[in-house]
Structure 1
Amino acid sequence: MINLLSRSRSAVLALSLGVLAASPASAIPVAAPQYQDALVQVASDCYAVGQQVAAEKGGTLAKASQSTRGGQTVCVIVVLVPGKDGERPRRTEVIVPQ
């Protein structure tokens, strides 16, 4: 039984390799899909928004990410604002609609 399974796997592997070798080279994608560019653009927009929010609050940008809240795409911005009189920085989260 084990020998039969081993032969079956070998046959499937050989057949798969044969199909791949016989396929034309033009079937292999050369460029990355276009939809990835949109994701990078949104992420960089949230980062830019985060930098603006941090500057307005006088703090440091800790995190900028995209999220969906209530069916709407938003940027979740986390800013660390310096504490008063040597206290720890305060963590402030700001939701910015896109």
Structure 2
Amino acid sequence: MMIFRALSRFAALGLFSAGLLGPQAGPGAAADCASMGRQIAAENGGKLIQAAESNQGGRPVCVVMILLPAKDGQPPRRDRQVIPLD
């Protein structure tokens, strides 16, 4: 039983490193996500807080968090947007 566990962990590690198991996004997707986030923040007059690539429903998306300036005496607010990457 111990040998099977060790072999299955080794196989899973190999699949992850080969990109066959888990997210398919590479370093370029994170850079694209950040640039998309900066563009959206600039269009809305806000500041990019966070941009991260994720999967939702099996599809790659970019999740962007923007800090929008205060209006009418209200505090600044956060805006979360999900943008499809395909």
Q: What's the TM-score bracket when you normalise by the shorter of the two chains? A: 0.5 to 0.7
Deviation per CA, 1:10-60: give whole Å up to 9, x if none.
xxxxxxxxxxxxxxxxxxxxxxx8x7xx62111100000000110111100
Q: Partner residue of 2:57?
A: 70
Q: Partner residue of 2:8?
A: none
Secondary structure of the corresponding residue to residue 26 of structure 2: helix
**AA matched with 2:46:** G
> Normalized against structure 1, the TM-score is what?
0.59
Structure whose residues are more often helix by fraction: 1
- Aligned residue pair count: 64
Secondary structure of the corresponding residue to residue 54 of structure 2: strand
Runs of 4+ in 1 over 2 A off after TM superposition: none
* Alignment partners' CA distance in 1, 2:35 and 2:63: 12
Secondary structure of the corresponding residue to residue 72 of structure 2: helix
Which of 1 and 2 has higher RCO (CA within 8 Å, sep 6+)?
A: 2
Post-superposition shift, 1:88? 1.5
User: Which of these two proteins has the greater Rg computed from alpha carbons?
Assistant: 1
**AA matched with 1:44:** A
Deviation per CA, 1:46-88: give whole Å up to 9, x if none.
0000001101111000000001001110000000001113432
* Alignment partners' CA distance in 2, 1:91 and 1:77: 10
Q: Percent identical across equivalent pairs?
A: 44
Q: CA RMSD in A?
A: 1.9
